[in-house]
Structure 1
């Protein structure tokens, strides 16, 4: 008789809507124990409804990914609901639309870099002690952060911050490799979310299904790579 594997312990940031919410849904459907974070848990109606549907397996905790003090608070609270992290999904992000050359507000750049790049890097650093050896860290990036794929002036604060996040992925992969922790950057496709807009090509369900298939297949040899939701490499 084979012993049953304990449920995977997963933490998802920005889980109140869009891809983060869909990650929480599908991870729960897979049997995971999930900690879902967002800035304002009291307003996360869809997420709180999931809590009622999965008693004891989903916990919602507050986190502002752009605030290192919030990272430290999460690290203190986490052991109360989860004794380690097998999968960390750095999903929370921000996109400032409508930027034009000559009129990009400095505040947009500061906010984007803090939320999309330094935030996930510092959060992973803070939670490193909670990550189990052999864990996976998945950073939700974007093809818009691919320098090689950039052909026009578009969403500069978002693109620059995602390129910086990609460097953070490679650096974290190096730092955590000796513990067997794989760190990857993932492009979810152009997804029909508040961020992606109604003209996008792929549903959150299909994107997350593909992303989780990629995550499930990742080994330490894949650490430091940039892949899309189909598992295909994305140029840096």
Structure 2
């Protein structure tokens, strides 16, 4: 039976491009986002690829929403289907943060969505992961402590550094099943989050990320890599 790819935050940007490229390769995708009814591009793709794309609601930071996704999995996919690739892409970035005016709400939302959500979602989905599956946590070079040279986007940067540690923890937890877990920096990409001045297109960034994921071996689990496969400092 063909393994499925599960992509969170799939209604736009990198998540949507992951869905497009996997479908173009005749793969099967379960795509999640907070409001599937408003995900126009995703719904168009579902109509173009009948049986290959299923869309389910997910607020990655909400416990009940994660649990509901697990319950819906066997109903949405083929009986006995397993996840061959989990792309933890959903995330938030709170712009305009200034030292002296930081608030708990922004920090808490970033940690809940960018760290706690992917960690607990992966834990909840672990029984559905195929042995030898891949888990790609979309991180950022802004989460690199060694490369931080100025104050900026603190809640996002802190959450991505924490996601990197969650990646290492998951790598150890899932290693006995041959499941490889990595933190991936997609580059500075022209999305709603990255902005129009960014260097890379979503198409090129996702194609690069997919090449990196396809080339992963067991020794790569727990590493922090960019979209070209280069290692990034913690």
After TM superposition, the structure 1 = structure 2 runs for residues 103-122 of structure 1, keeping only pairs within 5 Å, are 103-122=101-120
After TM superposition, the structure 1 = structure 2 runs for residues 54-203 of structure 1, keeping only pairs within 5 Å, are 54-82=49-77, 83-203=81-201
Structure 1 counterpart of 2:10: 15
Runs ≥4 in structure 1, deviation > 4 angstroms? Answer: none
Q: 1:216 aligns with which of 208, 214, 223?
A: 214
Structure 1 counterpart of 2:39: 44
Matched pairs, number: 231
Tell me how far 1:31 sits from its aligned partner: 1.6
Deviations 1:45-102 (A, max 9, x none): 0000000010000000000001011110000000113311010000000000010111
Question: Contact between 2:3 and 2:130, CA under 8 Å: does it hold in 1?
Answer: no
Question: Contact between 2:3 and 2:82, CA under 8 Å: does it hold in 1?
Answer: no
Deviations 1:149-179 (A, max 9, x none): 1000010000000000000000000000000
Tell me how far 1:7 sits from its aligned partner: 3.8
Tell me how far 1:106 sits from its aligned partner: 1.1
The runs of 5 or more residues in structure 2 that have no matched partner are none
Tell me how far 1:8 sits from its aligned partner: 3.8
RMSD of the TM alignment (CA)? 0.7
Distance in 2, matches of 1:72 and 1:7, equals 24
Question: Contact between 1:116 and 1:165, CA under 8 Å: does it hold in 2?
Answer: yes
Tell me the secondary structure at the aligned position of residue 127 of structure 2: coil
Structure 2 counterpart of 1:229: 227
Distance in 2, matches of 1:53 and 1:230, equals 30
The runs of 5 or more residues in structure 1 that have no matched partner are 1-5
Tell me the secondary structure at the aligned position of residue 129 of structure 1: helix
Tell me the secondary structure at the aligned position of residue 167 of structure 2: helix
TM-score (norm 1): 0.97
Question: Contact between 2:140 and 2:184, CA under 8 Å: does it hold in 1?
Answer: yes
